Amino acid sequence: MDNFIEYKGYIGSVEFSEEDALYYGKVQGIRSLISYEGSTAKELVADFHGAVDDYLSSCEEKGILR
């Protein structure tokens, strides 16, 4: 299993909590703290994609260059 995922040029970490039975991660290389999680790998990827899309939308609304 890779420890990173990629979407729209953004890289996200992939971690697993055995205690919580949960995959989680953070978007790398940006100043904002953007995290995501999922009970399955599919859920993790979907939440990562949604987090990146929300971040990009927020940047656009605020006129912030990424």
Count of structural domains, the chain: 1
Which one has a higher pLDDT value, 2 or 43?
43
Confidence of residue 1 (pLDDT cuts 50, 70, 90): low
pLDDT of residue 65: 74
Encode pLDDT of 5-62 as tens digits.
Answer: 999 999 999 999 999 999 999 999 999 999 999 999 999 999 999 999 999 999 999 9
pLDDT of residue 66: 66
pLDDT of residue 56: 96
Residue 13 neighbours by CB under 8 Å, 6+ apart: 3, 4, 25, 26, 28
Give residue 13's domain range. Answer: 4-62
**How many alpha carbons fall within 13 Å on the CB side of residue 60?**
6
